[in-house]
């Protein structure tokens, strides 16, 4: 439940007007170590293959802007393998 002061502008906790914007906030530390392999095919074409791992560590609980903690929030994170591939066309330094 969100803080009623966020919705109505007063200190009431039981809000009846839930048509306004409110945010749920949680701060995380985010790590993204990555390794790329890049190869220049011609002076104007390069390919890239990359692999990395996303990792996030929550440092605060989920709360609304009024500081009220949310009960049983979903476990949202960015942990997982990341793959990247690309073809770059342009004027590189040569």
pLDDT, one tens digit for every residue, the chain (94 residues): 555 555 555 555 555 555 556 678 888 899 999 999 999 888 889 999 999 999 998 888 888 877 788 888 877 778 899 999 999 998 866 5
Measured CA to CA in angstroms, residue 43 lies from 38, 66, 85 at distances of 13, 56, 19
Structure tokens at 83: 């793959």
Q: List phi, psi (to 5°) of 10.
A: -120, -175
Domain ranges of the chain: 27-94
């Amino acid at each position: 439940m969100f803080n009623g002061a966020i919705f109505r502008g007063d200190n009431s906790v039981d809000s009846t007007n839930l048509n306004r914007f409110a945010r749920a906030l949680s701060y995380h530390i985010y790590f993204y170590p990555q390794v790329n392999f890049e190869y220049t095919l011609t002076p104007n074409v390069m390919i890239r293959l990359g692999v990395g791992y996303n990792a996030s560590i929550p440092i605060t609980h989920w709360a609304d802007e009024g500081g009220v903690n949310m009960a049983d929030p979903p476990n949202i994170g960015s942990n997982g393998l990341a793959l990247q591939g690309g073809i770059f066309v342009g004027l590189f330094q040569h």
